[in-house]
Structure 1
Amino acid sequence: MIRLIALFATLCLLQMPAPLTAQESLEEIVRVDVLDGGRMADGKVQAALKLTLAPGWKTYWRAPGDAGIPPELDWSGSSNISAVALVWPTPEVFHLDGLRSIGYKHQLVLPVILTPKEPGQPIRLSGRIDFGVCSDVCIPASLSFDSALEPGAKRNPAIAAAMAARPLSANEAGAGKARCALKPTANGMEVTAEIDLPPTGGTEVAVIETGNPKLWASEPVVTRSGNRLRATSELVHVEGKPYALDRSALRLTVLGSSRAVDIRGCESG
Structure 2
Amino acid sequence: MKTLTAILKTTCLMAATLASSAMAGPFDDLARIDVIPGWQTPSGTHMAGVRVTLRPGWKTYWRAPGDAGIPPQFSWTGSQNITAAQFHWPVPQVFEQGAMQSIGYHDTLVLPIELTQVDPNAPIHMSGEITIGVCEDICVPVSLPFDALLPADGRRDGAITASLLNQPVSARDAGVQTATCDVSPGERGLMVTAKLTMPPAGRTEAVIVEAGNPEVWVSQADITRNGDTLQATVDMIHASSSSFALDRSAIRITVLGSDYAVDVRGCPKG
Aligned to 2:38: 37
Q: 1:170 touches 1:262 (CA, 8 Å); kept in 2?
A: yes
> Separation in 2 of the partners of 1:73 and 1:16?
19
Cα gap change, 1:18/1:226 in structure 2, threshold over 3 Å: closer, same or farther? closer
Percent identity at matched positions?
44
Gaps of 5+ in 1: none
Deviations 1:216-248 (A, max 9, x none): 111111112222211111112222111111111
Gaps of 5+ in 2: none
Aligned to 2:127: 126
Q: 1:13 touches 1:139 (CA, 8 Å); kept in 2?
A: no
> Separation in 1 of the partners of 2:258 and 2:113?
26
More moved, 167-176 vs 62-71:
167-176
> Separation in 1 of the partners of 2:233 and 2:116?
37
Q: 2:10 aligns with which of 8, 11, 20?
A: 8
TM-score (norm 2): 0.94
Deviations 1:129-183 (A, max 9, x none): 1111101111111111000001111111000001011111112212124111111
Deviation at 1:7, TM superposition (A): 2.8
Deviation at 1:20, TM superposition (A): 4.7
Q: 2:21 touches 2:138 (CA, 8 Å); kept in 1?
A: no
Aligned to 1:229: 230
Q: Which amino acid letter does the alignment assign opposite residue 38 of structure 2?
A: G
Deviation at 1:43, TM superposition (A): 1.3
> Separation in 2 of the partners of 1:190 and 1:3?
16
Aligned length: 268
Q: Which amino acid letter does the alignment assign opposite residue 66 of structure 2?
A: G
Cα gap change, 1:80/1:236 in structure 2, threshold over 3 Å: closer, same or farther? same
Aligned to 2:258: 257
Q: Which amino acid letter does the alignment assign opposite residue 132 of structure 1?
A: G
Cα gap change, 1:140/1:19 in structure 2, threshold over 3 Å: closer, same or farther? closer
Q: 1:177 touches 1:266 (CA, 8 Å); kept in 2?
A: no
Q: Does residue 69 of structure 2 align to residue 71 of structure 1?
A: no
Deviation at 1:19, TM superposition (A): 7.6
Deviations 1:196-231 (A, max 9, x none): 211100221000100112211111111122222111
- What SS class does the counterpart of residue 103 from structure 2 fall into? strand
Q: Which amino acid letter does the alignment assign opposite residue 11 of structure 2?
A: A
Q: How does 1:122-161 map to 2 (within 5 A)?
A: 122-161=123-162
Q: How does 1:205-244 map to 2 (within 5 A)?
A: 205-244=206-245
Q: 1:190 touches 1:234 (CA, 8 Å); kept in 2?
A: yes
Q: Which amino acid letter does the alignment assign opposite residue 246 of structure 1?
A: D
Cα gap change, 1:19/1:239 in structure 2, threshold over 3 Å: closer, same or farther? closer
> Separation in 2 of the partners of 1:58 and 1:198?
30
Deviation at 1:186, TM superposition (A): 2.3
Aligned to 1:267: 268
Deviation at 1:254, TM superposition (A): 0.4
More moved, 24-33 vs 75-84:
24-33
Q: 2:202 touches 2:257 (CA, 8 Å); kept in 1?
A: yes
TM-score (norm 1): 0.94
Cα gap change, 1:98/1:27 in structure 2, threshold over 3 Å: closer, same or farther? same
- What SS class does the counterpart of residue 77 from structure 1 fall into? coil
> Separation in 1 of the partners of 2:148 and 2:39?
13
> Separation in 2 of the partners of 1:109 and 1:55?
16
